[in-house]
Amino acid sequence: MGGTKSLKKVDVFQSINTVFVFGFALICTLPSLLVLIVSLSDEQSIRDKGYSFWPDSFSLSAYKSLFTGNDQLLQSYMVSFGVTLIGTAAAVLITGMAGYTLANKQVRYRNKLAFFFFFTMLFNSGLVPWYMINDFLGFKNNILALIVPTLLFSPFNLFLVRNFMQELPEELFESARIDGASDGYIAFRIVFPLSLPVLATVALFYGLGYWNNWFNAIMLVDNEKLYPLQYLLYKLQSEISMVNQMQGAAASNITLPTESFKMAVAIITIGPIVLLYPFLQRFIMKGLIVGAVKG
C-alpha cells in the first residue's frame, strides 16, 4: 500500500510539473508569436490598436519593403552566412586547442596561462586600441574585418571547454602516449570527439555572436558588398524611420511600415538560428552542466 501511495504522489508531482513546464514554455513562446503577427499586420492597424494578437487587417507590406528589388539583402545574407560558418569553425578550433592545452597536465605553465586568459575577462583595453590594431593589421574593407576581430576566443568559452576536458579520464591520455600517440593525435582523435557536447555548445555561442554582429561593419567596413545582414537591416530601418519623419513634417498621407518592418526584420534575422538550435540542443545542456562542474 505504501508503494502505491508513493507512486501516486510521484504521478501527481509529474503531472503538476508537466503542466507548469508547458505553461512556462507557452509564456516564453507568446512574444515570438506576437512578433510574427505584428510583422504581418497592416501598419494602420498597429497605429490604431498597438501590438495585438488580433489585428484588424493583415499585410505583407513590411516583407515587400525588405525583399522587393533589394538584391543587397540577398548579398548581405550570403555575407552573414559565410562569416558565421567560417568564423564559428575557426573560433571553435582555436578554443578547443587552447582548452586542451590548459587541461593537459603535462603543460608546465598551464595555470599561469589560465590566469592570463582570465585576466582579459576583468580588464579591457578599450575601443581606440582595438580600432588601431585592426587598422594596423589591415582588417578594413575586407572579409577579414568581419571575421578576425571576433575570432579571438571568449575566455568564458575557453574555461567551459577546459573544465569539460579535465573531466575526461586521465588513463585515456596515458594509454595513448604509451602507444606513441602525439598531442595532435590525442587532441583530434580522442579528446575532441569525446568533447563534442561542449564544443557544440560553444559553437552555438560563437555562431550567435557572428550572426548578430553589426559592430565590426560599422567600425571597419565601408564597402556595401561586405555589409552583413544585421548592419544592412539596421541601415534600412533607419532610412525608413527618417523618411517617415520627413513625411510627417510635410503632412503626407503615405505611411511606410515602420513598426511592422521592425518585426519583419526580427523574424528574418532569427530564422537561421531557430533552425540551427534543434540540431545542437541535445549537446548544449550536457556541455554546459559538465563544463561548469569543476573550475
Mean pLDDT of the chain: 78
Find out whether 87 and 151 touch, Cβ atoms under 8 Å: yes
pLDDT value of position 153: 64
The tens digit of pLDDT for each residue in 54-79 reads 877 787 777 877 777 667 777 888 89
DSSP run (H or E) holding 79: helix 71-103
Higher pLDDT, 292 or 12: 12
Q: Sort residue 151 into left (φ over 0), alpha (ψ -120 to 50) or beta.
A: alpha
The tens digit of pLDDT for each residue in 1-43 reads 555 555 555 577 788 888 888 888 888 888 888 888 888 887 7
Domains located in the chain, CATH noted: 63-291 (1.10.3720.10)
Neighbours of 34 (CB within 10 A): 14
* Mean pLDDT of all residues in 123-146: 85
Alpha carbon distance 46, 231 (integer Å): 25
Predicted TM-score of the model (pTM): 0.74
Q: What are the contacts of 176-184 at 24+ separation with CB within 8 A?
A: 183/100, 183/104
* Mean pLDDT of all residues in 191-201: 86
Residue 251 — pLDDT band, cuts 50, 70, 90?
very low
The tens digit of pLDDT for each residue in 205-243 reads 888 889 888 888 888 888 888 888 888 877 776 766 666
Place of cell 540540431: 279
Distances (CA, A) of 102 to 23, 123, 248: 43, 21, 60
- Amino acid type, 27: I
DSSP conformation class of 295: -
Higher pLDDT, 276 or 35: 35
- Amino acid type, 209: G
Q: At what angle do helices 196-211 and 71-103 cross, to 10 degrees?
A: 140
